[in-house]
Amino acid sequence: MAALQKSIDKRNSLIKATIGLVNNNGFHATPMSKIAKMAKVSPATIYLYFENKQDLVNQTYIEVKAAYTNYAFATYHKNMSVEQGFEIIWKRIADFKLKDSENAMFLAQCDNTPMIDETSRQEGIKHLEPLLELWNRGIEEGIIKPISEYLLYAYAINPLSFLMMSAQRSAFTLDTTHIEEAYVAAWNSIRVIK
Partner DNA sequence: ACATAAAAAATGAACGTTCATTCTTTTTTT
Partner DNA sequence: AAAAAAAGAATGAACGTTCATTTTTTATGT
Least distance in Å: CB of 134 to DNA? Answer: 40
Helix H, strand E, coil C: the string for the chain is CCHHHHHHHHHHHHHHHHHHHHHHHCCCCCCHHHHHHHCCCCHHHHHHHCCCHHHHHHHHHHHHHHHHHHHHHCCCCCCCCHHHHHHHHHHHHHHHHHHCHHHHHHHHHHHCCCCCCHHHHHHHHHCCHHHHHHHHHHHHCCCECCCCHHHHHHHHCHHHHHHHHHHHHCCCCCCHHHHHHHHHHHHHHHECCC
Does position 24 interact with DNA (CB under 7 A)? The reply is: no
Residues between 51 and 110 that touch DNA (CB under 7 A): 52-54
Does position 42 interact with DNA (CB under 7 A)? The reply is: yes
Does position 27 interact with a copy of itself (CB under 8 A)? The reply is: yes
Q: Measured from the CB atom, is 39 or 190 closer to a copy of itself?
A: 190
Candidates 109, 135, 139, 144; binder of a copy of itself (CB under 8 A) is: 109
Three-point CA angle 180, 124, 34, nearest 5°: 95
Candidates 41, 115, 134, 144; binder of a copy of itself (CB under 8 A) is: 115
Least distance in Å: CB of 21 to a copy of itself? Answer: 11
What, of DNA, a copy of itself, none, does residue 150 touch, CB below 5 to 8 Å by kind?
a copy of itself
What, of a copy of itself, DNA, none, does residue 181 touch, CB below 5 to 8 Å by kind?
a copy of itself
What, of a copy of itself, DNA, none, does residue 189 touch, CB below 5 to 8 Å by kind?
a copy of itself
Q: Measured from the CB atom, is 67 or 182 closer to a copy of itself?
A: 182
Least distance in Å: CB of 143 to a copy of itself? Answer: 14
